[in-house]
Structures are given as structure tokens and as C-alpha cells.
Chains A and B, each alone.
Chain A
Amino acid sequence: MVHHRRRATFPLSARAKVFCFFFSKNKALFFEKRKQKTFAPGNPVPYALLLLLAAASLLLGAAGVGIPDPAIFWQLRIPRTLLALLVGAGLGLGGAVLQGVLRNPLADPGVLGIGGCAALGAVAVFYWGLSVAFPPALPLGGFAGAAAGCALLLLVFRRAQSGPGLILAGVAVSALAAALLSLALSAAPNPFALYEITFWLMGSLEDRTLLHLALAAPPILLGCALLLRLSPGLDALSLGEETAASLGVPVGATLARAVLGVALAVGAGAAVAGGIGFVGLIVPNLLRPVVGERPGALLFPSMLAGAALLLIADIAARAAGLWLPLAAEPRLGVLTALIGAPFLVSAARRAAA
């Protein structure tokens, strides 16, 4: 099984390794192994980088640069930093899993409308007052929306397995989510709900509370744990569903777990951060030259890099709000879209070539 092939490495002496390297035909394989080590769970370098970023994030904000007073530190910077890491991790990992499952490097929770579906669920729950009565309803709503969107997408994809078909299904899911959102809000008790939501949909982590963190963290962590375990299944799926099944991989169960995991990791994030797109698209595509093409190997690095990317974007948003003469802090989703949209075009051109 693929699972075993990945784990079992023969203990070779240094001399044997050099020997093998010179006489092997596919030398790229050796580098692939070395590349993977950079992002292996045991390597401390990525964690150190994330810690550095987190420290920078804790020291920067609208109050200025430096150690802020305790209220700002604990009630604003801590939730903001941890939410950026968590939401980014969920989006990066969700993107890598979707790209693996759908065998398409253009897949992204935002582009395919899963983020929009999550927003639909969360926003409907919020504006209809359910989350006031029962706060965990907010991430649950995001999860339910994302799960529905993800399942719908997968259903359409499995019927017509083509790249354009997938992207068109994503367009349809996005449009459906936007229409239902607008419909749900125009019937909500708040007469300004539709105006408010356009702003919220641009995504932001500004002014979030510890409650938001407490609500989003458990589902995102659970979703990430589920998705990380999909690695061997995704490797097998990259050979096609029939081949994967012949290798003994339970295809249906793997896809169901992918839907559940993506819905948890992406849905709960969107419920507290709004619409943040393109992280799941950018991260796996950036990592492929470093980590290699194997979808299973991309998962863990994508999670870390997603966390780092969103935290960097959020630090940039705060820095812009602090030092540029802007009326308000730039929205986080706007920044990720500014990087992501050109990235989507270049990835699409590469995929077409």
C-alpha cells in the first residue's frame, strides 16, 4: 500500500546513499526527499518562523509598535494573532486537500464557492439571532454551509470530471451562495443587514474577541487533524479513483472525510473572519516547487504556510492602517485577493500549458 511505501525508508549508510545517488536514474527523487525534510513535522525551522511572525504580530497594531497595555494585548492582539494562524492554517490545508481530491491546481475554497457557502451559513445564523442565543451556532452555521457547498461541488465534479467543469461548478456554487445570502438577509430583522454584509464579506480579523477565538479554534483544529490524516488516501487518489480503489483505498470514505474536514477547517474560519479567498490557492502552488507534486506531502507544509501567509497579510493590513493615510484599515480579504487573483491567472496559464 502507498501508506507503507511512504513510511518505510531503508536505513542506508552515508556511503551507500552517495553510491545510490550516482547510480540512480531518477536523481530528482533524492532531492524530493531532501525537500520534504524542510517541511517535515520534526523540523523546527518553520515553527521558529511562525513564532517570529506571531511575535511581530503581537507587537504591532493600531496602538503603535511595541508591547501594548494588557487589555490590548490579551483582548485584541492575542485573539487576532491566533485567529490569523488558525484561519490561515485551515485555508491553506483546505486548499491543498481540495487540489488533491479534485486533481486540479486551481482548486481553492474561495474560488470554488465553499467560502461563500460558509459565509451564507454563518451570516444567516447571526442575522436571525441564533448566535446571540447560542454563540456556538456561529461556527456551526459556517460549518453547515461549507459542508453543503463542498458536497455539492464534489457531486457535480464526480459526474463531469474535467477542469473547466469543476471551475464552472465553483462559479455556480458561488452564485447560489451569494443569491441565497442576499435573500436570507433581505428577510432578516435588521434593515441594514445587506449593507453591513458587503463590508463583512471582504474579510477581516480586526476587533475580534477571545470569544471568537474560543468559537473558531476547536472546529478548525479538529478539521485540520482530520485532513492531515488523509495524506495516503490523497496520494492514491492522484492516480485516479479507480486505481486508488484497486490499491485498497476506500475512495468514498476518503472523499467524505475530505468534505467534513474542509467544512470544519474552512467553515469555522469564515464564520469569524468573513470572506478570505485565495490563501488555499496560493499556498500549495507556492510549495509545489519546494515540496514536490505528491498531494499527500503538501498537506502539512500547506497548513503551516497558510498560517504564515494569512498572518503576514494581517500584519501588512495593520501596518498599512498604522502608517498609510487611509480612512480605515485595508480589509484582509482584499489583500489576499490582490495577491491571489494574478496568482490564479498565472496558475491557470501554467495548468493550460
Chain B
Amino acid sequence: MWSPSTKPSTPMSCGSNRAACLALAAILITHPASAAGVVSLNLCTDELLLALAPERIAALSPLARDPTLSVFADAGARHPWVRPSAEAVLRLHPDLVLAGRYGAQAAVAILRDRGLRVEQVAEPTDFPGVAAEITHVAAILDVPARGAALTASMQAHLAAIRPRPGTSAIFWEARGYTAGPTSFAAAVMQTAGLVNAGTGRVVGVEAMRAHPPALLIMAQAPAYPSLATDLLAHPALAALPRRTIAPALLTCPGPWSITAAEQLSH
């Protein structure tokens, strides 16, 4: 229909200015060294770091201060935050970087390449896993005694929960996803004595209304508008028995998630 008449132009590059480019880059990278510490790139490692060794924090992820997602939002807001980009982390000169198993992969690769110690922490899917994760991170942070104390108090809280007689329930998440049988939410439900009827697949409002569980569990709507959680407030479901829990309790598996299990158990 139309013929492109534009000719390819010479590509822009540093070219003859390479020396100037390098000099500029050198100025940007060699920022005066600040106090070393631990940088966390992931909300879940933020929370563990806040629980185990807050005095060593150099920077947390931006989500650590979000009251909808973080259980330690107030404490998180008192620390500096950093975007999970290699350059931003490098200029902090941390002696340890905590990251999740997924996300910020490119940044993690560069940081490792530059010789930084980066520890990737996997998300547990049940409470024994949470205890193991705490012990692991406490060992990385060189505070094994604090880890042991936290695990012990967690076990005590878990033992205090009296599970309710098995009620079928679905944990319904943003965009209509249900918590699958191997998810951490399922473990929390099981601790509370609930029988997870979710499959991990998407269930729309109509299907939920047609085959409702005895109990519908969902996270409280976030403080900010969200299209993904809009359907959870659909008026067609107003009559279903439901429980809402603070989303921060389950965003990252941790000792705080026991509060969710306890709330659901009665």
C-alpha cells in the first residue's frame, strides 16, 4: 500500500566519544563508598530481614513500606529503599544481597558477576518450610540465636491453634485465581481446619456463584484501586459466607501468617 521512503540512517553510538563515555560511566559507578550492610531486593526477604537483623539493613525493596503488602510497613518506612536494579544496588556497596528465587534475575546475575554475595531465598509452601527458611536466613545473617527464638515462638503459636471441624473453603485471589492444593494459602487453611476446595485455576464470579464453597476466603481489598481485585466485590456474591484477611499476612509466608490461620480457625 505504501512504500517506506526513509533510508536507514547512520546508527547513533558513542563512536569517537568513547573515551568521554567511559569517563562519565566511571564517575557514575565509583560513588563514594557508604556504610556496608544488607540489601534486600524482595518483599519476603525484606520482612525476614526486618524480623531478624534490622540493624544491618542498608536498603529494602520499595514494597516493604506498602501497608497493603508488608506486615512491617511502619518499620520498613524507616529504612532506605532501593529499586531492584544492579546499578542502584552497586552504589550502596552492600556486603550481602538478599533476593527471591524469581524476579530481578538480570540484577542478581550482574551483582554476582561483580563479586557481591547474593543469597536467593525460596518461598516456602508450608509452616515447616517457614521454620527452615528462618533458620537458613538467620544463619546467612549470622544471627542463629534470633532465628531459633523466632522459630520457637512460631511453633508455640502454631500449637495454640485449635482447628475448626473441616469446612470446605476456597481462597479466592486477585483476577479470580484460587489457591491450589500445594500453595501456602492451602497450608494456612489446613492449619485452621479448613478443607481447601480450590484447584489453583481461575474461577469467575458466575462459576463461584453456581458452585459456592461453604466459606469464601479472600484478602481485604487493597487501599488503592485495583482492576484485579474488583471481581471479588461483585454484588452477585454478596450472599455467600465469607471471611476476609489482611493481604499482607499471606503475601509472604512467615511467622505472621499464623495470625491468618488463627483468624480462620474460628
A247 within 8 A of partner (CB): no
Q: Which residue of A lies closest to B1 (CB)?
A: A352
Chain A contact residues, majority secondary structure: helix
Report chain B residues within 8 Å CB of A72. 206, 209-210, 236
Within 8 A of B (CB), among A49-68: 61-64, 68
Instruction: Output the least CB separation between B140 and chain A (Å).
Output: 27
Check B239 against A71 for contact (C-beta < 8 Å): yes
Report chain A residues within 8 Å CB of B206. 61-63, 68, 72, 76-77, 207
B224 within 8 A of partner (CB): yes
Check A189 against B224 for contact (C-beta < 8 Å): yes
Report chain A residues within 8 Å CB of B236. 71-72, 75-76, 209
The complex places the Cα of A193 from the Cα of B225 at a distance, in Å, of: 9
Check B209 against A71 for contact (C-beta < 8 Å): yes
Q: At the interface with chain A, which of B12-20, B33-41, B120-128, B197-205?
A: B197-205
Q: At the interface with chain B, which of A35-43, A81-89, A196-204, A307-315?
A: A196-204
The complex places the Cα of A352 from the Cα of B209 at a distance, in Å, of: 51
Interface residues on chain A, size class: 35 or more
Instruction: Output the least CB separation between B172 and chain A (Å).
Output: 12
| Count of chain B residues with a beta carbon within 8 Å of a chain A beta carbon | 30
Most chain B CB neighbours (cut-off 10 Å) among A131, A168, A327, A348: A327
1/0 per residue, CB under 8 A from A, across B173-206: the answer is 0111000000000000000000000000110111
Q: Which residue of A lies closest to B200 (CB)?
A: A327
Q: At the interface with chain A, which of B22-30, B85-93, B227-235, B254-262?
A: B227-235
1/0 per residue, CB under 8 A from A, across B40-53: the answer is 00000000000000
1/0 per residue, CB under 8 A from B, across A291-325: the answer is 00000000000000000000000000000010000
A188 within 8 A of partner (CB): yes
Given contacts A75-B234, A163-B1, A164-B1, contact A207 B205 (CB under 8 A): yes
The complex places the Cα of A143 from the Cα of B2 at a distance, in Å, of: 32
A157 within 8 A of partner (CB): no
Check A329 against B204 for contact (C-beta < 8 Å): yes
Write the residues of chain B forming the contact surface with A, with a CB cutoff of 8 angstroms: 1-2, 62-63, 66, 69, 174-176, 201-202, 204-207, 209-210, 222-228, 230-231, 234-236, 239
